[in-house]
Amino acid sequence: MSHLDILLPFGLPPAEMAPDLLRELKTPALATLIARAKSRRDQTFDGFSRALPHEIWLARQFGLDRRLPIGGSPPIATAAMQAAGLTPDPGVWFMLHPAHLHVARDHLVLTDLRQLALSEHESHALFDAAKPLFEEFDRPLLYGDARTWFIRADAWDALRTSTPDAACGHNIDIWMPQGDGERDWRRLQNEVQMLWHSHAVNAEREARGLQTVNSVWLWGGTPTTMDSAPPRYREVFNLPGWAGAPRQPAILQKHAATASDAIATSPEHGLAVVDTLIEPALAGDWSVWLDRFHTLESDWFSPALEALKAGKIDAVSLIFSHGTHLSESSSGKQSVRKFWIKPSLSKFIR
C-alpha cells in the first residue's frame, strides 16, 4: 500500500481569522479531500507549550519525543551537529542561534530568525567575539553555520527550553530556559548581549537598516547518550531546518517540489513537509498566507487528489496545524470518489 503524509505547519487558520480567510480561499481540491476524508483526528495543545504542535508531531515521528517532558523542546542538537559535519564530544549539547530581540513597551519579543538574514562573514565575526566568553563559563562553543551554533553544557541536562518558532512574537519571559542552570544561562546570555551591543557588525547592520544581532536563543538540549526510537518513514521529502537533521540510515531524504514529484517515487509510507506558511503566519501577514495557500492548491492538493482518483497512490493524509491545534485527515482512492459528498472546507474551522 502506498501512502503519503503531507505536513503543512500553520496550514490551519487561527480560529479568530478562520471565517474571513476561508471566504478568500479558492481550493476545490482541498475542499474535496477534506470533505471526503475517510478519517479525521484532532489534537489540542497547550498554548504555552515549549514546542509548536507540528514540531511535537515531527519529534514523535522520528522517535525524539521521549525527552520532550524533560527538555521542553525536541532533542535535536547532536543530530544537527552531525548534519553540519561536526562530531560532538560526549556530553549534553544545545542549539544556539544568533537572534534579535525587539524591545516592546514593557517586555522583549523574539523576532522570527528567518528574517535576520545574517551572512557567514557577520556570523563568524560575532562567533569569534563571543567564544572567549563561553570558554570563561566552561561552555564549549562550536560553529555550525551562519544561523546555528552549538554549546556544550553537561550540567544543564534537565534545562527546559523553547523552540524559536514557539517563542517567536511573544514576551520571552515565559519562554526563556527554566530549571537547573537557568541562572547561569541568563548570566552568559547577558554577557553576550553586552559584548555585541557595540560590535562593528551591529553598527554596520544598523547603518544598512537591518535588524541588529542583540541576543542568542538556546534550545534542543541533547545528551550524546540519548537513544531514539526507529522512524515511522522510509522516504521523507523537504524536511526543513532541524527536522532534516536526523540522518538515520533507514531514511531516504529527497526533494519534491509538488505532490506529483513525491508520488512518482511510489513511497510505501512517505512524509512530505511543506513549510511555506510558517513565516507569513508568524508575521500575521495573511495576504501572503493566502497567496501561498493557493500555490499549495495547485502544487500539492490538486495533484494529490488526481493521483488518488487515478489509483497512483492508495492514501494521502494531510496534517495541518496552527499554534495550539493539529488536525489530520486521511483520504483514500475510494473515499474521494464519493461524488455525493459536496466539497467543503467547513471542517477546516477550529
Span 161-174, pLDDT tens digits: 999 999 999 899 99
Residue ending a domain, choose from 199, 223, 247: 223
- 51 and 142 co-located in one domain: no
Give 33's pLDDT tier (boundaries 50, 70, 90): very high
Higher pLDDT, residue 176 or 337: 176
CATH of the domain at 80: 3.30.70
Q: At residue 2, what is the residue type?
A: S
Q: Is residue 61 a part of any domain in this protein? A: no
Residue ending a domain, choose from 202, 223, 244: 223
**pLDDT of residue 245 exceeding 60:** no
- 78 and 198 co-located in one domain: yes
Residue 225: which residues within 8 A CB-CB, separation 6 or more?
Answer: 90
Residue ending a domain, choose from 180, 197, 223: 223
- Rounded distance between C-alpha atoms, residue 15 and residue 13, angstroms: 6
Q: 69-73, 213-217, 277-281, 336-340 — which is least confidently predicted?
A: 336-340
**pLDDT of residue 122 exceeding 80:** yes
Phi/psi for 287 (5° steps) reads -70, -40
- 48 and 88 co-located in one domain: no
- Rounded distance between C-alpha atoms, residue 68 and residue 59, angstroms: 9
What one-character DSSP code corresponds to residue 269? E
- 207 and 280 co-located in one domain: no
- 130 and 219 co-located in one domain: yes
Q: Is residue 171 a part of any domain in this protein? A: yes
Q: How many domains does the chain have?
A: 2
Per-residue pLDDT of 86-98, as tens digits, reads 999 999 999 999 9
Q: Is residue 119 a part of any domain in this protein? A: yes
Q: Is residue 17 a part of any domain in this protein? A: yes
Q: Are 141 and 130 in contact (CB under 8 A)?
A: yes
Q: Is residue 277 a part of any domain in this protein? A: yes
CB atoms within 10 A of CB 42: 13
- 211 and 79 co-located in one domain: yes
Percent helix, strand and coil across the chain, each rounded to 5? 40, 20, 40
Per-residue pLDDT of 177-213, as tens digits, reads 999 999 999 999 999 999 999 999 999 999 999 999 9
Q: Is residue 155 a part of any domain in this protein? A: yes
Q: Are 57 and 319 in contact (CB under 8 A)?
A: yes
- Rounded distance between C-alpha atoms, residue 248 and residue 234, angstroms: 10
- 193 and 96 co-located in one domain: yes
Whole-number mean pLDDT of the chain?
91
pLDDT value of residue 218: 98
Q: Are 257 and 95 in contact (CB under 8 A)?
A: no
- 285 and 208 co-located in one domain: no
Q: Is residue 62 a part of any domain in this protein? A: no
pLDDT value of residue 84: 87
CB atoms within 10 A of CB 344: 12
Domain that holds residue 327: 3-56+231-348
- 77 and 162 co-located in one domain: yes
Q: Is residue 116 a part of any domain in this protein? A: yes
- 106 and 48 co-located in one domain: no
DSSP 282-318: HHT-HHHHHHHHHHHIIIIIHHHHHHHHTTS-SEEEE
- 76 and 175 co-located in one domain: yes
- 93 and 215 co-located in one domain: yes
Higher pLDDT, residue 61 or 288: 288
CB atoms within 10 A of CB 206: 11
- Rounded distance between C-alpha atoms, residue 152 and residue 69, angstroms: 20
What would you report as the CA-atom Rg of the chain, rounded to the nearest whole angstrom? 21
